[in-house]
């Protein structure tokens, strides 16, 4: 599957999620496929969703990927 197809599947699986993060490795391919460039904050609006670059070695996800220096938490930790 190509990057755009993977993003389409993720949007279809979680249609209520407002944002989606795409791995850095797939980001250029996704941008080329949708023929768009990121705005000033680094996001692209696609199919009504805010799509951002999620960093290297991440999954396509509707949850914000852990950042350097930020704890990786889940709902199970609460």
In a domain, 73, yes or no: no
In a domain, 70, yes or no: no
In a domain, 17, yes or no: yes
The per-residue pLDDT for range 20-73, each reduced to its tens digit, is 999 999 999 999 999 999 999 999 999 999 999 988 887 888 877 766 444 455
Q: Into how many domains does the chain fold? A: 1
What is the extent of the structural domain holding 41? 3-64
In a domain, 25, yes or no: yes
Residue 78 confidence (pLDDT): 47
Quote the pTM value.
0.78
Residue 68 confidence (pLDDT): 46
Strands, sheet with 49-53, edge to edge from the N-terminal-most edge strand: 19-22, 49-53, 43-46
In a domain, 78, yes or no: no
């Amino acid at each position: 599957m190509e990057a755009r197809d993977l993003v389409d599947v993720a949007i279809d699986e979680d249609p209520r999620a407002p944002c989606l993060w795409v791995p850095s490795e797939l980001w250029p391919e996704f941008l080329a496929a949708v023929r768009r460039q990121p705005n000033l904050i680094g996001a692209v609006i696609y199919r009504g969703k805010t799509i951002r670059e999620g960093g290297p070695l991440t999954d396509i996800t509707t949850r914000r990927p852990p950042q350097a220096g930020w704890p990786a938490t889940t709902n199970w930790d609460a």
